[in-house]
């Protein structure tokens, strides 16, 4: 099938990029840069029995990637895992992740909608910078959002827990290169 495996870590792929790519069922971790720069369009991670980690840069610069079918067992998505996947439109975050890492979805400009699962405690710097998000709801479980988490997003509305103390201007710095100085409407819930 073109998968490069070492024990339970998927390190690379050199197979066909047509159709949906299904990862091997014994995959526990997708290694750093495993699919980096690949021409894949859709990947199904649910085919692994138990997938725990998507390591840094795993899918970075997969500019043709449109859809990721997530495995619900994933508990960690490392930094820049999906950075520069400019055509990514469809991904559902797994329920057990506790943080959205640094630049995870950097410049995923077609990612217009994402649900942050209850259980996420931290959204790191630039996690969604350059995405196409027009609204976002931050769950009550979130305790910290770092600066520029949503830099350059065309956000119109953000729903934030009333108790969450953040620097609104720093976190929702949406005046990026393609926007004016419009303010995001913040609704405390």
CB atoms within 10 A of CB 36: 17
pLDDT tens for the chain, 189 residues long, are 688 999 899 999 888 787 889 999 999 999 999 999 999 999 999 999 899 999 999 999 999 999 999 999 999 999 999 999 999 999 999 999 999 999 999 999 999 999 999 999 999 999 999 999 989 999 999 999 999 999 988 888 888 888 888 877 778 765 555 454 456 776 777
Distance, CA of 152 to CA of 71 (rounded, Å): 29
CB 155 within 8 A of CB 128: no
At residue 1, the pLDDT reads 61
What CA–CA distance (Å, rounded) separates 63 from 59?
9
Per the structure block, which two tokens stand in for 111? 């990612």
Tell me the CA distances in angstroms from 173 to 30, 49, 149, 158, 176, one per residue in order. 32, 39, 8, 12, 7
The pLDDT score that the predictor gives to residue 94 is: 92
Cα–Cα distance list, 185 to 8, 67, 84, 149 (Å): 45, 29, 27, 16
**Rounded to whole angstroms, how far apart are CA atoms 94 and 69?**
10
How does pLDDT run across 87-122, given as a tens digit for each residue? 999 999 999 999 999 999 999 999 999 999 999 999
| pTM score, whole prediction | 0.90
> Mean pLDDT over all residues of the chain?
89
**Helix H or strand E segment including 7:** none
pLDDT of residue 174: 58
pLDDT of amino acid 76: 93
């Amino acid at each position: 099938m073109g998968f490069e495996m070492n024990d339970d870590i998927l390190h690379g792929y050199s197979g066909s990029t047509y159709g949906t790519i299904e990862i091997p069922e014994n995959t526990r971790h997708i290694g750093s840069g495993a699919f980096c720069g690949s021409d894949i369009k859709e990947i199904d991670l649910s085919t692994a029995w138990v997938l725990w980690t998507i390591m840094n840069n795993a899918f970075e610069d997969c500019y043709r990637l449109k859809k990721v079918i997530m495995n619900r067992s994933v508990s960690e998505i490392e930094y820049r895992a999906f950075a520069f996947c400019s055509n990514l439109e469809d991904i559902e975050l797994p329920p057990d992740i506790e943080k959205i890492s640094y630049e995870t979805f950097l410049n995923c400009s077609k990612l217009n909608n994402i649900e942050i699962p209850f259980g996420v405690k931290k959204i790191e710097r630039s996690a969604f910078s350059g995405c196409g998000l027009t609204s976002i709801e931050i769950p009550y479980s979130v305790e910290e959002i770092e600066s520029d988490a949503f830099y350059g997003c065309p956000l119109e509305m953000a729903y934030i827990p009333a108790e969450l103390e953040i620097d609104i201007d720093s976190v929702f710095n949406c005046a990026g290169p393609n926007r004016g100085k419009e303010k995001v409407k913040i609704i405390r819930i």
